[in-house]
Amino acid sequence: MNRTLKALPFTQVTIEDQFWAPRLRANRENTLTACLDQCDSTGRISNFAKAGGQADGEFEGIYYNDSDVYKVLEGVAYALMSQSNAELERRADDIIDQIAAAQEEDGYLLCYFTLQAPDKKWTDMAYHEMYCGGHLMEAAVAYKKATGKGALLAVACKLADHYDEIFGPGKRHWVPGHEEIELALIKLYEETKEDRYRDLAFWLLEERGHGNGSGEIWDREGWGPAYCQDDKPIREMTNVSGHAVRAMYLYTAVADAAAITSDQGYIDALDRLWESVVLRNMYVTGGIGPSKDNEGFTLDYDLPNETAYCETCASVGMVYWNHRMNLLHRDAKYADVVETALYNGALAGVSLSGDRFFYVNPLASKGAHHRVEWFGTSCCPTQIARFVPSIGNYVYATGDQTIYINLYVAGTGTMKLEDGVVTLTQKTNYPWDGNVQITVDATEMCSFELGLRIPGWCESAAFHVNDVPTRPAKLNKGYATLVREWKTGDTVTLQLDMSVQREHALPLVKANQGRVALRRGPLVYCVEQADNELNMEQWIVSSSTAFFTEHRADVLEGVTLIHCEDAASGKQFAAIPYYAWDNREPGPMAVWLREEK
């Protein structure tokens, strides 16, 4: 039996629910266009034209700006896979032409060095050369899948070949200052089946922690090799360190490599790192990286709220990494983290309208923190642009004769098992309630195990199969499994009991002592001034009171509010899902509320 699961790609998944469909529409209609427009107006796209001799002028912006263009292209590709859009595709093709032109003869591609400092290529490992290259590769694979057009993929392969010529065993050492290339080369390998790309990815992973890194980061006081996870070899890693997004991209690649090689040293390291991140360094929102100074980690349990950095990209990185961990270990606890980061830390990164973004996601604000249209370093908007249209990736996974449902999202998933093709249709109002109806459509009578994730937040669940109360055969690593000969029309109803829950931080988290966070299903809540007359100092939750929930179609495109009441004074205040904050007038916000008798 294959140890790892396969994710069902989002192209085999339709999303038709009230929660995610509007988010995907906002992405398609606003986010992608907004990001393309910003890439245009900030010179990110014309940099390619300039580098390719199609336009005149100097390089504009920051040396890693190419990556934003690639990430938006990746998002466009994902959007096109779900729904054709001639205008978006035309814009993409046009950009791809410029990218292709910008590639140098030998394959090198990074506008900054080509235009501004050609003699400085490959001199400082901090300079995101391979980081940008990695994003190109991801975009290229996506665009090929979406359109069948191979132009960008040819650029990506030529770039990968260029890397492979210079770096590798017996060639030059290189420790990419910002990881990304490793996971991208594995993706490129999976698309092209070119073993060299895989081997180069593996070699780059092994480069780390042996003193081969050098450059500005390595020398900077307080940063050093740990900042970019170069302080020790992967197999010796025990605790997360440094820049949060870099760590996530590295761990994602390590998990990809382990899925291919079953390297136990990698798996053991990942398991240790997972405990380090999730048990000691993660916010209740799934956000990570408390510090603005290094955009990353500090000390275990240092999780301040108002100054929480929690970069949007890092929450997305948590989804990427934990998704791989779930596939690797067939354990729903990783999908729990995917869900938490997805519905909270990551989704807060974009406005409901799709065209305003957070880079930084604090868990409390006095009112001065707001989404904006763009940033000088705009990794987060473009991360959202490519992430949201691909969330279908996280819904289903398959084993040999098992279908696992990791997320409850209305829509369908179509997957090929040994015995035939199966389509599952989910009907649900999740995350607003915990009832999910799953209908089977099979090409023929089909025996498989259906594994339904019982989320970590869920205290109890009930099942019916074809309206008959049923208990699952077992609860295996967080999956309730039903085994039977399925036939078309068979229906499983899952009821996940969903109460408002009080989350308490560990005593070691000083910021949250005497405080409570409210959670309902996958959603972490916050209190925002816009809903309330009481001010921030009065948002105090009685330690014994019950909460009232109220679904309001007219608030924030439809959310379930949690009404809180101080039993003593009778004052009420309302909480909203954290992902939806700062979509109205600016004002104070808090996730962790004072809790009193």
Residues carrying an active site annotation: 295, 379
Contacting a second copy within 124-153 (CB under 8 A) = none
Provide the pairing of β-strand 446-453 with 13-15: unpaired
Q: Which is nearer to a second copy, 214 or 493 (CB)?
A: 493
Angle between helices 151-166 and 129-147 in degrees, nearest 10: 150
Q: Is 472 in the site for a second copy (CB under 8 A)?
A: yes
Region of 85-93, 357-365, 422-430, 549-557 interacting with a second copy (CB under 8 A): 549-557
Q: Which is nearer to a second copy, 391 or 574 (CB)?
A: 574
Residues 143/153, Cβ–Cβ less than 8 Å: yes
Q: Which of 87, 469, 507, 585 binds a second copy (CB under 8 A)?
A: 469
Helix locations, 297-361, DSSP H: 312-329, 332-340
Contacting a second copy within 490-509 (CB under 8 A) = 497-502
CB of 541 to a second copy, least distance (A): 12
Q: Which is nearer to a second copy, 386 or 520 (CB)?
A: 520
Q: Is 597 in the site for a second copy (CB under 8 A)?
A: no
Provide the pairing of β-strand 396-398 with 6-7: antiparallel
Region of 139-147, 349-357, 400-408, 457-465 interacting with a second copy (CB under 8 A): 457-465
Q: Which of 474, 487, 513, 535 binds a second copy (CB under 8 A)?
A: 474
Q: Which is nearer to a second copy, 201 or 559 (CB)?
A: 559
CB of 436 to a second copy, least distance (A): 15
Q: Is 538 in the site for a second copy (CB under 8 A)?
A: no
Of 2, 1, 12, 126, nearest to 396 (Cα)? 12
Count other Cβ atoms within 10 Å, centred on residue 467.
Answer: 8
- Residue 348's SS3 state is helix
Q: Which of 36, 385, 458, 541 binds a second copy (CB under 8 A)?
A: 458
Q: Which is nearer to a second copy, 159 or 534 (CB)?
A: 534
Distance CA 472, CA 482 (A): 5
- Residue 458's SS3 state is coil
Region of 303-311, 341-349, 366-374, 465-473 interacting with a second copy (CB under 8 A): 465-473
Q: Which of 155, 388, 520, 534 binds a second copy (CB under 8 A)?
A: 520
Region of 55-63, 127-135, 418-426, 541-549 interacting with a second copy (CB under 8 A): 541-549
Contacting a second copy within 551-590 (CB under 8 A) = 551-552, 561-563, 565, 567, 570, 572
Distance CA 61, CA 462 (A): 55
Distance CA 508, CA 562 (A): 28
CB of 532 to a second copy, least distance (A): 13
Q: Which of 73, 228, 270, 454 binds a second copy (CB under 8 A)?
A: 454
Which one-letter DSSP state was computed for residue 391? G
Q: Is 549 in the site for a second copy (CB under 8 A)?
A: yes
Q: Is 462 in the site for a second copy (CB under 8 A)?
A: yes
Of 269, 200, 282, nearest to 232 (Cα)? 269
- Residue 389's SS3 state is helix
C-alpha dihedral (323, 328, 331, 333), degrees to nearest 10: -40
CB of 499 to a second copy, least distance (A): 4
Residues 254/235, Cβ–Cβ less than 8 Å: no
Q: Which is nearer to a second copy, 257 or 454 (CB)?
A: 454
Region of 56-64, 151-159, 450-458, 525-533 interacting with a second copy (CB under 8 A): 450-458
CB of 270 to a second copy, least distance (A): 21
CB of 371 to a second copy, least distance (A): 28
Of 455, 445, 193, 174, nearest to 331 (Cα)? 455
CB of 84 to a second copy, least distance (A): 38
For 174, left (φ over 0), alpha (ψ -120 to 50), or beta?
A: beta
Residues 375/313, Cβ–Cβ less than 8 Å: no
Number of residues that bind a second copy (CB under 8 A): 40
Q: Is 596 in the site for a second copy (CB under 8 A)?
A: no
Contacting a second copy within 346-365 (CB under 8 A) = none
CB of 432 to a second copy, least distance (A): 10
Helix or strand run (H / E) with residue 405: strand 402-405
For the residues of 491-539, what is the DSSP string, one character each?
EEEEEE---EEEE---TT-GGGTTEEEEEETTEEEEEEGGG-SS-GGG-
Q: Which class for 2: exposed (0-12), middle (13-18), buried (19 or more C-beta within 10 A)?
A: exposed
Cα 389-5-343 angle, rounded to 5 deg: 35
Q: Is 331 in the site for a second copy (CB under 8 A)?
A: no
Q: Which is nearer to a second copy, 83 or 548 (CB)?
A: 548
Distance CA 578, CA 567 (A): 24
CB of 591 to a second copy, least distance (A): 18
- Residues forming contacts to a second copy in the complex (CB under 8 A) are 454, 456, 458-463, 469-472, 474-477, 480, 497-502, 520, 544-552, 561-563, 565, 567, 570, 572
